[in-house]
Structure 1
Amino acid sequence: MKWLMTGASGFVGQALERALQARGDAVWRLVRRTPQTDVEIEWDPARGRLEPEDLARIAPDLVVNLAGRSIVGRLSRRAKDEILQSRVAATRTLVDGLAAAGLTSTRLLSASAIGIYGSRSEPVDEAATPGEGFLADVCRQWEAEALRAAKTGTAVTLLRFGIILDPSGGMLARLLPVFRCGLGGRLGDGRQWMSWISLHDTVSAILFLANAGVDGPVNVVAPQPVTNQMFTEALADVLGRPAFLPVPRAAIALAFGGDARDVFFQDCAVMPGRLREAGFAWRDPELGPFLASALGGTA
């Protein structure tokens, strides 16, 4: 199989590329700098520049769009604009490039996030309507750009990622030093739901969906969400450290901006309805055993 990737240097992108190479698939990367290998193609999504000839030459079977600025950090007006535009512009440029190259028989697996649901008082699956808030607005526009590809006959899968956990990066890697020092604690009252998934299962789900023929939104999450309090207790238990220093909502807003509540305090139990229906098998369905396995040698 021939794959084309955006965001290949990111947390998920690196893991996915390793998995693809391990099974012998060919992988090309879109990069924003001068290409350094013959499997790299330069593009400029901010300016909408991507040569259709480069895409036609490769003729990928599958395209994975993972490009987007990290949401970690203070959510200033400029940062929020960059978070939105990095996703919308990249997806628009990619979709336009595929259409111009006549690549309508490929499948596009385009990243999104469970932030599209906002906070809910009840569990949700893919049938739920979008919610409210900054992240929901970003995801709506992000997905709308990807779905334009369907108008030309391209099959589109929207990967609504949950909180992706692995000691090598992402949220878990940032929390480990704090918890190892005994300074960890719940966020606010800790009652908010966290819909998580291991990095291993994230990559496995992408590979599964590449061949499953599932169009539209797919919640890429584990089947057993946890509350922030449950997550805090599980991580502290595996590390053998106390975790009794709760972080007030006001402190998060002060440090990261008012819209940070959308990131840190989203309260939504998201269920993987379509992954389950399609027959996907999780290696890490439960948080406790996952953390014990992932951190057993590093605690």
Structure 2
Amino acid sequence: MKILITGGTGLIGRHLIPRLLELGHQIIVVTRSPEKARQRLDARVGLWKGLDACQNLDGIDAVINLAGEPIADKRWTAQQKQRLCDSRWQITQRLVDLLRAGTRPPAVFISGSAAGYYGDLGEVVVTEDEPPHNEFTHKLCARWEQIAQQAQSDVTRVCLLRTGVVLAPRGGILSKMTPAFKLGLGGPIGSGRQYLAWIHVDDMVNGILWLLDNPLSGPFNMVSPYPVRNEQFAHALGHALNRPAIFRTPAAAIRLLMGESSVLVLGGQRALPKRLEDSGFAFRWYDLEEALADVVK
């Protein structure tokens, strides 16, 4: 297949693209900086500098939309919230417009979202049918998904990736957490009772490949079948690094440091991948300690 990808140099894209190339697919990455992307990506990957010159997406078999500014890198000022929204909504709308402008649109449009779609639901077990809690992360993801769903047609099916915390060797949450843990200063955050929906990057990639190859559509929770509490995650990460994990960070300190975005670590989702498993997908990484041991080694 000829596959167009946005966000190809991000955490998921960097792991997905080599697998797609191994399978013989032709890959084109949309990027604002072809020079930087060329340094990071396989020479076989084609590069488009933005989408302004495109008239439609005829000739493209599939689109995988992973673009979006990292949500936890900065405090959520009004300006930063708008940047988070614009970085997702605008490129998704552009892709949908191009897809609908052609006469031979792609057969599948796989578009990003996040488990944050549900907001902080505490102890509630969350499947794709669970009503969300109406907070900023839900508003961000709900509009993102609504835009992507405009591409659904008799020709194009739309899959939405409600992704949890992705565990990968370089980048993502572990790149922020491991320095403190390696110094023996890691531990639970706040009460430690909040749930963390996680997924090993291999399962994330395999899940996207599954959606590419099977006639599925709609939202999918891209998370492990076994979410854990924050204190369990801290203990497992400390064990994987052979370090103690006893230094609890008070919730008040996190709120002072992160402001409103502290909900990302003080809240959580007990999300399950119901629709993915019901479709026949088999996870490789069920056990958090095994997944972390694989990632940090």
Q: TM-score, normalised by structure 1?
A: 0.91
Q: Does residue 109 of the first structure (1) align with residue 117 of the second (2)?
A: no
Query: Match for 1:109: what amino acid?
Result: I
The alpha carbon displacement at 1:267 in A equals 2.6
Equivalent residue number for residue 207 of structure 2: 205
For 1:238 and 1:292, the matched residues in 2 are separated by: 5
1:2-17 equivalences under 5 Å are 2-17=2-17
Q: What's the secondary structure of 2:17's corresponding residue?
A: helix
Equivalent residue number for residue 278 of structure 2: 277
Query: Match for 2:47: what amino acid?
Result: E
Equivalent residue number for residue 48 of structure 2: 41
1:1-299 equivalences under 5 Å are 1-33=1-33, 39-43=46-50, 49=52, 51-52=54-55, 55-56=57-58, 59-72=59-72, 73-120=74-121, 121-151=123-153, 153-257=155-259, 259-295=260-296, 297=297
Query: Match for 2:145: what amino acid?
Result: E
CA gap of 1:34–1:289, structure 2 versus 1, over 3 A, is closer
Contact 1:135 1:262 in 2 (8 A): no
Contact 2:116 2:141 in 1 (8 A): yes
Cα deviations by residue, 1:56-106 (Å, 9 ceiling, x for unpaired): 3xx121110001000122222211110011000010011101111234352
Q: TM-score, normalised by structure 2?
A: 0.92
Cα deviations by residue, 1:16-58 (Å, 9 ceiling, x for unpaired): 11111122211011122467788212225xxxx35125x33xx
| CA RMSD across the alignment | 1.7
CA gap of 1:110–1:50, structure 2 versus 1, over 3 A, is farther
For 2:206 and 2:8, the matched residues in 1 are separated by: 16
For 2:108 and 2:290, the matched residues in 1 are separated by: 34
Q: What's the secondary structure of 2:109's corresponding residue?
A: strand
Structure 2 spans left out of the alignment, 5+ residues? none
Query: Match for 1:100: what amino acid?
Result: A
For 2:165 and 2:104, the matched residues in 1 are separated by: 32
Contact 1:115 1:266 in 2 (8 A): no
For 2:79 and 2:28, the matched residues in 1 are separated by: 31
Q: Could you tell which deviates more after superposition, 179-188 or 22-31?
A: 22-31
Structure 1 spans left out of the alignment, 5+ residues? none
State percent identity of aligned pairs: 36
Q: What's the secondary structure of 1:150's corresponding residue?
A: coil
Contact 1:133 1:262 in 2 (8 A): no
For 1:229 and 1:184, the matched residues in 2 are separated by: 11
Contact 1:159 1:220 in 2 (8 A): yes
Query: Match for 2:139: what amino acid?
Result: D
For 2:263 and 2:135, the matched residues in 1 are separated by: 7
CA gap of 1:147–1:97, structure 2 versus 1, over 3 A, is same
